[in-house]
Amino acid sequence: QVQLVESGGGLVQPGGSLRLSCAASGSIFRIYAMGWYRQAPGKQRELVAKITSGGSTDYADSVKGRFTISRDNAKNTVVLQMNSLKPEDTAGYYCNAQVVQVGYVGALDAWGQGTLVTVSS
């Protein structure tokens, strides 16, 4: 009953920018945190950035200074602004949310379907 819908992926040249958005919907009571993970073929999934409902952020070392995560708690959305993109940023990007559903006590770990980011000239 919880869905995460991502948008904003695509092809961009090195040094360019992309803006990824993720919107959570469904029977949501509370979202503790939202974030973005990425996975390239043959590699492990890794955290890119996350943000709590209180605004605390965490970034992978490889993206610090280039990516910025933000959120709109009222709309249950999270945005990842990616600047100065590098070819090594190429990956599938997946939205993640830790969600408490209406009528539930514990939180579930929800995932989006992924959006592809390709950085190439």
The closest of 105, 117, 112 to 6, measured between CA atoms, is 112
Query: In Å, what is the CA distance from 42 to each residue of 26, 53, 91, 92?
Result: 33, 32, 11, 12
For residue 98, name the pLDDT band (cuts at 50, 70, 90): very high
Query: In Å, what is the CA distance from 48 to each residue of 29, 52, 121?
Result: 25, 14, 23
Is a pLDDT exceeding 90 seen at residue 73?
no
Kindly report, residue by residue over 30-68, the tens digit of the pLDDT.
Answer: 999 999 999 999 999 999 999 998 999 999 999 999 999
Query: What is the pLDDT at residue 83?
Result: 98
- Kindly state the greatest CA–CA separation across the chain: 49
Average pLDDT, the chain: 96
